[in-house]
């Protein structure tokens, strides 16, 4: 019983951390750069399918199955999702910012439809199975298997967190924030806004692709239904709940919202009769929506809120200055 619970907890956390990776990607795009991506699911799907194609054994009825090592699949996933992001960004980022939202939404729909219909590549509605799972040698022991996977994802999240913190407190991150604050001023200071935005968008997309691959290899099976707009909604809820602009907030938000999602799912499963469950599932989305509103009323900037990031090289600066820690800078009227 205890062991079952531990195995379930490890499973739950592993899934939650895979969402944390997606949320960290969205935080680069939205939290740090202000790029409104409402097609998150599409970029996750690109990563998942890319890695599945690269790593599954050769399949007679569809293209590929190249049987490459998992690590190659993950790298391929980041590359593919990053390149798709770069292309989408290059096409739309010169336009007004709301076009990016429309374009990303369109990309997600197109990716999902491709997954559904390009049967010879994606396996169509039945998806791709036999995706190699890491640590299969432990498969006999569910607890050990879950813990090993959890450790792997925790490592990925930690590495990503350290990477992003370092990057965002670098001169690159400073330019990104400057562009977000005032594009005209940043441009006048010689910062090509378009290039920095594209970099951030592609980086965020690549991270989403990595998350897609991690999920695919953890479950061992993918299908187009995994990448519906619900996924995008969940990830946005995670980022907003945890605190947009804050990497720790992104991770925390992913765990909290996924807990709420899993819990409400099992409650609905036990309360409603079988015939009603498909319809009752809509309650989950409503519940997350209500939770989101509650958080926003209670803490408008999310649980953790944005921290003011200062260049990591300026550690000689007095750190104890309270105004740097304060979440809400005092407002003064414009001159």
User: Where along the sequence are the contacts to another protein (CB under 8 A)?
Assistant: 166-167, 170-172, 174-175, 177-178, 181-182, 184-193, 199, 203, 308, 310-311, 313-314, 317-318, 321, 323-324, 329-332, 334-335
Per-residue b/e over 195-231, b at no fewer than 16 CB within 10 Å? ebbbbbbbbbbbbbbbbbbbbbbbbeebbbebbebbb
Q: How far is the CB of 29 from another protein (least distance, A)?
A: 15
Q: How far is the CB of 60 from another protein (least distance, A)?
A: 42
Q: How far is the CB of 209 from another protein (least distance, A)?
A: 17
Nearer to another protein, 140 or 333 (CB): 333
Backbone φ and ψ for 193, nearest 5 degrees, come out as -60, -40
Nearer to another protein, 50 or 175 (CB): 175
End-to-end CA distance of the chain: 66
Run of H or E including 287: helix 277-298
- Residue 60 has a CB neighbour count (10 Å cut-off) of 5
Q: Which residues contact 125 (CB under 8 A, 6 or more apart)?
A: 116, 223, 224
DSSP three-state, residue 128: strand
Q: How far is the CB of 188 from another protein (least distance, A)?
A: 6
Task: Quote the crossing angle between the two packed helices 193-219 and 171-181, to the nearest 10°.
Answer: 110
Q: How far is the CB of 104 from another protein (least distance, A)?
A: 22
Nearer to another protein, 279 or 319 (CB): 319
Q: How far is the CB of 176 from another protein (least distance, A)?
A: 10
Q: How far is the CB of 247 from another protein (least distance, A)?
A: 16
Nearer to another protein, 143 or 194 (CB): 194
Nearer to another protein, 182 or 225 (CB): 182
Residue 288 C-beta-side C-alpha neighbours within 13 Å: 27
Nearer to another protein, 34 or 47 (CB): 34
Max CA distance (Å), the chain:
70
Sign of the torsion formed by the C-alpha atoms of 116, 226, 33 and 73: negative
Q: How far is the CB of 307 from another protein (least distance, A)?
A: 11
Nearer to another protein, 117 or 326 (CB): 326
DSSP three-state, residue 222: strand
Nearer to another protein, 140 or 318 (CB): 318
Residues 31, 33, 34, CA angle at the centre, nearest 5°?
Answer: 70
């Amino acid at each position: 019983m205890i062991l079952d619970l531990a195995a379930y907890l490890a499973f739950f956390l592993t899934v939650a951390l895979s969402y944390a990776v997606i949320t960290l990607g969205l935080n680069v795009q939205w939290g740090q750069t202000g790029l409104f991506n409402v097609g998150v699911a599409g970029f996750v799907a690109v990563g998942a399918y890319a890695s599945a194609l690269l790593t599954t054994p050769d399949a007679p009825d569809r293209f590929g199955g190249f049987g490459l090592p998992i690590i190659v699949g993950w790298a391929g996933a980041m590359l593919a999702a990053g390149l798709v992001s770069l292309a989408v960004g290059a096409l739309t980022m010169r336009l007004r910012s709301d076009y990016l939202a429309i374009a990303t939404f369109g990309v997600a729909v197109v990716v999902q439809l491709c997954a559904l219909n390009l049967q010879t590549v994606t396996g169509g509605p039945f998806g791709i199975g036999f995706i190699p799972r890491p640590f299969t040698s432990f498969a006999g022991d569910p607890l050990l298997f879950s813990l090993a996977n959890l450790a792997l994802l925790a490592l990925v999240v930690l590495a990503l967190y350290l990477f992003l913190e370092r990057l965002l407190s670098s001169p690159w991150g400073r330019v990104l924030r400057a562009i977000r604050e005032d594009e005209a001023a940043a441009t006048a200071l010689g910062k090509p806004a378009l290039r920095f935005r594209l970099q951030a968008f592609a980086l965020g997309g690549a991270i989403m692709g990595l998350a897609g691959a991690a999920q695919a290899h953890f479950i061992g099976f993918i299908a187009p239904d995994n990448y519906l707009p619900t996924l995008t909604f969940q990830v946005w809820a995670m980022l907003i709940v945890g605190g947009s602009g804050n990497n720790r907030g992104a991770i925390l938000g992913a765990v909290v919202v996924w807990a709420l999602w899993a819990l409400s799912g099992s409650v609905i499963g036990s309360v409603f009769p079988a015939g009603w469950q498909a319809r009752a599932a809509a309650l989950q989305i409503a519940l997350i929506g209500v939770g989101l509103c509650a958080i926003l009323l209670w803490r408008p900037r999310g649980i953790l809120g944005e921290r003011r990031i200062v260049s990591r090289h300026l550690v000689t600066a007095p750190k104890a200055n309270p105004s740097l820690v304060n979440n809400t800078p005092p407002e003064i009227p414009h001159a």
